[in-house]
Amino acid sequence: MELHLQTFGSKLRVKDGIFKITKPDISGAGLHEEEEYAAHQVKTLLLQSGTSVSVDALILALEQDTDLLVLDRLGNPLGRLLSNRPTSTLTIWKNQLDVSLTTEAARVAKGWVEDKIRGRIQYLQGLKNHRSDTKQRRIEQAEAEMSDVLARLHRLPVREADKTAASIRGLEGTAGKHYLSVLNDLLPEEYRFNGRSTQPAEDMFNAFLNYGYGILYRKVERALVLAGVHPYIGFMHSDGYQRTSMVFDFIEPFRVWVDAVVLKLFFSKLPNRQHVQPHGGDGLWLNTLGTRLLNSAFNKFIQEEKQMLEGRWHTLEHTLTESARRFASWLLGRNRIAEAVA
């Protein structure tokens, strides 16, 4: 069971060895809501900004090996409380660090990038429906170009980690250029752009992409942290101070979700100049109206669209959570493999 304290003023306490949550009555009538949960049933506690927890509740969570995470006001993870006793989370981190120092890390990262390119090719195939012959041929051309890059990436030998990572990024960039080029050709003429631009965007389309990837970034980080994966120990993106390298690695196969949502908005001609504001000279950022439009569309998309994952259909939101959990299980399993070999 997962308990999420997010209502402002909510309190987590302990009563007779049981977690007790009190939710305030904001009307002022004093009709506070109270809920009680057996400690052994609670696997995860999520404490959001504006809530409070007693030390006794923290001690009980540690005794029960309950995973306790602190979130900011937007629900993004800031940190977690760990027991001094060894836990599966510590084993995952240890194994994650061990893998990151080997060529196996590059092989895993290569697989994520292959999945990214493969997913974008599949997305383009779906865009051919109800398109003119000219646009269908343009999509097929991009598919062929990206498939060629995908084949080259698949054949890429994994030897020295740094050199392999650089080669992966180079091929990924080539596939990305083919992909963005065909998206640009498919857009209504008033939305077309001159290449990828970030921090800030040079056009409205890239402004929406940038913010969309930011939404996805936060969701990926949360999924990894909840699964016990350390967001700062990367496999391909270099580690650095306050750089969540694993998030940048793990996000790759899921970027196409943002592409699909943003393209749908632009195909429907919903975005306009009222959704962006100037930033950094000629740059553009989404304003409140723009962020509201994209947040609503993206959350609806991942909660309603489904994807096959190992023989079962899941919502995209669940697919992300489950993918992070399976990655954590793979890292945890490496410890059992090492013990068997020893």
Mean per-residue pLDDT pooled into runs of 10, the chain (342 residues): 81 89 76 83 84 90 83 75 77 93 93 97 94 95 97 93 88 96 95 88 93 92 90 82 86 97 96 89 88 94 90 92 95 63 37
Q: How much is the pLDDT for 122?
A: 96
For residue 198 the two structure tokens come to: 């970030």
pLDDT at 28: 67
Q: Which two tokens stand for residue 304?
A: 């309603």
Question: Cα dist. 59→12, 56, 83, 309 in Å?
Answer: 12, 5, 9, 38
| Confidence at residue 86, expressed as pLDDT on a 0 to 100 scale | 67
Using the structure block, give the residue that is written with the tokens 């990828």. 196
Average pLDDT taken over every residue of the chain: 88
Angstrom distance (rounded) from CA 221 to CA 76: 8
Per-residue pLDDT at 335: 57
CATH of 93-341, picked from 2.60.40.420, 3.30.70.1110, 3.40.980.10, 1.20.120.920, is: 1.20.120.920
Per-residue confidence (pLDDT) for residue 239, from 0 to 100? 65
Query: Hey, where are the domains in the chain?
Result: 2-85, 93-341
User: Distance between CA atoms of 120 and 149, rounded to whole angstroms?
Assistant: 12
Predicted confidence at residue 342, as pLDDT, reads: 36
Query: What per-residue confidence (pLDDT) applies to 281?
Result: 74
Domains 2-85 and 93-341 equal at CATH topology level: no
Record the pTM.
0.82
CATH of domain 2-85: 3.100.10.20
